[in-house]
Amino acid sequence: MHRQRCTRIIATLGPSSSDAETIKKLSDAGADVFRLNMSHGKHSDIGKIHAAIRQVEVETGRAIGILADLQGPKLRLGVFDGDKTELTNGQTFILDMDQTPGDSSRVCLPHPEIYQAVEKGTDLLLDDGKIRLKITAVEGTKITTKVSVGGPISNRKGVNVPSAILPLAALTKKDKEDLDFVLGLGVDWVGLSFVQRPEDVVEAREIIGDQAAVLSKLEKPSALYALDEIIDLSDAVMVARGDMGVELPMEEVPAKQKKIIRHARRAGKPVVVATQMLESMISSPVPTRAEVSDVANAIFDGTDAIMLSAESAAGAYPVEAVSYMARIARTIEKEPSYRRALDKEETRLEPTSADALSAAAKQVAQTLNATAIVTYTTSGSTALRASRERPKTSLLVLTPNQTTARRLSLVWGLNCVHTKDATDFQDMIDKACHICVKYNFARKNDHIVITAGMPFGTPGKTNVLRIARIQDYHTAE
């Protein structure tokens, strides 16, 4: 139950890791949340993986979060005569709606939304930014460009439009079908791709309601113009460095990552850093030094979670990749400079008793050298407040709501136990002390700090802070 680290790990499941045995190994190695990539796999296969995760959850007794990551709109070229061609620097290249196979002078771009959004001077990026075009003219459904950076190009390569807000909804027909399916399964988080503006999050929220938490993936530069509003509308955000690194100059991505983490932390919303964190471990049993530093820097910045993609989904060493991430997190979190970095960031406290008590619990625990802060929560809001304070003291969350425990598994420092709610004040103290001892958060004579709401079972009513000392009777089963 006690991970001995606060930074959480998300592992993507795929061909290398979709069986129950491997999922169990990934969980034991340190995976707190499993990601289902809805861009790949049939619904029947995803349903089997979901069931396997839930079986592992029963076996381990640890709440496991499941993130269903929607594909989002995919902008792609048409096909070429001979399946490929070569573009040279300085040449003219035309994009149009003609379905005829293309050549070195033109190709089909079957997305009318792009023609509406671009203008002369706009950049178009093809094949993850390997090919760069500069628009010289837009005439209806014909875009004339000059090739800035040429090279080989083949069928159906991706298209990125970094400087334009496209008139596209974040949810496609496929996304809506996938969403209906995963909500029926009971996933805990939904990853929303292609977020360009706050309205995209609102649209998804109207469909999802409270059936799952919404994680907005920040991969479009346009989303950064409304960053705080998107964060406020989301339950969590992700620094999705894949498309972000294509649509922005790569040297700008580290600064954007730090900015997103900083803004999310101030708002008290969980934040995930993703993409190519241990990329070499797709084929290597050990990461590179640069990758270790990349993971460490995200942890130093205070991210809630770090994510593995192909490393755990399709790589040769999925369990080893999770193990390395856990080792890096444990090591970095012991560094004095890590604590100094966390303490520099001020959180935004609201004038409520819940926020006041969460901030006070951190200070009281530190003064008493308490071994745990125990938070009773139904909705999860109290636990989120406790995590936002980034205390040195271990955080133990007790909740009667299994869904809440699973969702909170993505959040910094939260160790969640699904248990019955307290029946009265003394039962609250006894239960907190007993569970702290059971899961090795405290021993005899240790102090713990408890926050809860009265009356019990009422969401959003954190109004009690109690100091307790572990007594002999708390150690009995």
Domain ranges of the chain: 8-73+170-337, 84-160, 353-475
Is 35 one of the catalytic residues?
yes
Is 217 one of the catalytic residues?
yes
Sign of CA dihedral 251, 252, 257, 262: positive
Q: Return phi, psi of residue 4, to 5°.
A: 65, 20
Is 275 one of the catalytic residues?
yes
The yes-or-no verdict on residue 477 having pLDDT over 50 is: no
pTM higher than the cut 0.75: yes
Token duo for residue 250: 């790569």
The yes-or-no verdict on residue 474 having pLDDT over 60 is: no
Does a cis peptide bond (omega within 30 degrees of 0) precede residue 73? no
**The domain made up of 353-475 is a member of CATH 2.60.40.10:** no
pLDDT digits (tens, 9 = 90+) for 372-386: 999 999 999 989 999
DSSP structural state of residue 465: E
Q: Which of 74, 76, 197, 327 is catalytic?
A: 76
pLDDT digits (tens, 9 = 90+) for 182-231: 999 999 999 999 999 999 999 999 999 999 999 999 999 999 999 999 99
Residue type, 454: M
The fold of the 84-160 domain, in CATH, is M1 Pyruvate Kinase; Domain 3 (2.40.33)
Q: What is the mean pLDDT of residues 26-33?
A: 98
pLDDT digits (tens, 9 = 90+) for 408-441: 999 999 999 999 988 888 999 999 999 999 999 9
Alpha-carbon span 448 to 438, nearest angstrom: 14
Q: Which of 8, 106, 157, 217 is catalytic?
A: 217
Q: Which of 8, 35, 62, 388 is catalytic?
A: 35
The fold of the 8-73+170-337 domain, in CATH, is TIM Barrel (3.20.20)
The yes-or-no verdict on residue 27 having pLDDT over 90 is: yes
Q: What is the DSSP string of 129-178?
A: TTEEEEEEEEETTEEEEEEEE-EEEETT-BEE-TT---S--S--HHHHHH
pLDDT band at 99 (very low <50, low <70, confident <90, very high): very high
pLDDT digits (tens, 9 = 90+) for 166-175: 999 889 999 9
DSSP structural state of residue 281: G
DSSP structural state of residue 308: E
Q: What is the mean pLDDT of residues 40-54?
A: 96
Token duo for residue 247: 């649509």
pLDDT digits (tens, 9 = 90+) for 299-308: 999 999 999 9
Q: Which of 12, 275, 375, 404 is catalytic?
A: 275
